[in-house]
Amino acid sequence: MSLQDKVAIVTGSGRGLGLAYAQELARQGASVVINDVDEATAAEAVASIEALGGRAVAVVAPVGPTETAQKLVAAAVETFGRLDILVTNAGVLRDTVLWKMSDDDFDTVIGVHLRGTFTCVREAATWMRENEVAGRIICIGSPTGQRGNFGQTNYAAAKAGIVGMVRTWALELKRAGITANAVIPVAATAMTATVPYFAAAVEADAAGEPMPPFFRHDLGFGTSDDVAGLIAYLASDAAAGITGQAIGIGGDRLQLWSHPEAVFTTYRDGGWSAEALDEEGAEIFDGRQQSVGEKFPPLPAELDRTKA
């Protein structure tokens, strides 16, 4: 597997998961367009790739506006001559419960995650189609978008929407040979660093030590580098036949998420009136309602920082 002579854009790649993706793509031979809202952070990311013999350039701009998407694609084409790979990773958080979430909290998260993914993919896919490049679109989702999470109405909506767009793009871009997939990472990030349940894993990662096997194996929770390999694989020619998928990755675990499918079907002649549902609803719904949110097993005593 090689990405030699390929060119990639990775949004939100100044630090964290995005930087790990960009560095791995560069390690596999790709030239990379780095994106961040902070100039110094973006410059450091570029320098980290160049220090290892890679090629990179930075675009300092917030993801969301069409103008940023245009700048990113232009930077790839003008600097490196082409565009083969887009990874939409940029994101922000504005967590709070529904009744306290402001319009700005909602719009900011939707604007960066959902609109930003849309504008960047539209610009990249348009260039790829017009130039007959069988490109790779890799969008970053979240378990929150798959399962929901308390206090994250905006984030859940955006991440669920991204997976929905990916499924649609897989259909629309198939004839052009462009794949579109969503990656669902579970890793030590700025968000998980604030969750006491993950404290032992985050502390180990920050200290450069191996995470306890409970996190890596049982929870599928790992480092940014654990996710980056999947990004590089999906960006390669080896993954030409994989499209429209939501793929979970973290620690030692890889998962293929199912698409929504009916779990139970029943029929009633004449349809389902309110009265008919009142009569039969309990029998239909009891024991068949689907769970929401993520449910984690109890931490082993030696890893539970809350009892230290």
- CATH numbers and ranges of domains, the chain: 7-187+223-257 (3.40.50.720)
- Span 156-182, pLDDT tens digits: 999 999 999 999 999 999 999 999 999
Kindly name the residue from 142, 197, 224, 236 that is annotated as catalytic. Answer: 142
Q: Which alpha helices (DSSP H) does the chain contain, by range?
A: 16-27, 39-50, 66-80, 103-109, 116-130, 143-147, 153-172, 199-206, 213, 224-235, 274-285
Indicate whether 97 pLDDT > 70.
Answer: yes
Please confirm, yes or no, whether 155 is among the known catalytic residues. yes
Choosing from 13, 31, 155, 197, the catalytic residue is 155
> Rounded to whole angstroms, how far apart are CA atoms 248 and 127?
28
Summary mean pLDDT of the chain: 95
What is the pLDDT at residue 195? 83
pLDDT band at residue 301, thresholds of 50, 70 and 90? confident
Euclidean distance between CA atoms 146 and 152, whole angstroms: 12
Going by pLDDT thresholds of 50, 70 and 90, the confidence category of residue 308 is low
Q: How many helices (H) and strands (E) does the chain have?
A: 11, 8
pLDDT of 190 over the 80 cut = no
Determine the average pLDDT of the residues in 227-253.
97
By three-state DSSP, how is residue 40 classified?
Answer: helix
Q: How far apart are CA 178 and CA 244, in angstroms?
A: 11
The answer, yes or no, to whether residue 141 has pLDDT greater than 80, is yes
Catalytic residue among 6, 13, 21, 159: 159
The pLDDT of residue 170 is 98
pTM as predicted = 0.95
Cβ distance 58 to 34 under 8 Å? yes
Per-residue pLDDT reduced to its tens digit, 216-232: 999 999 999 999 999 99
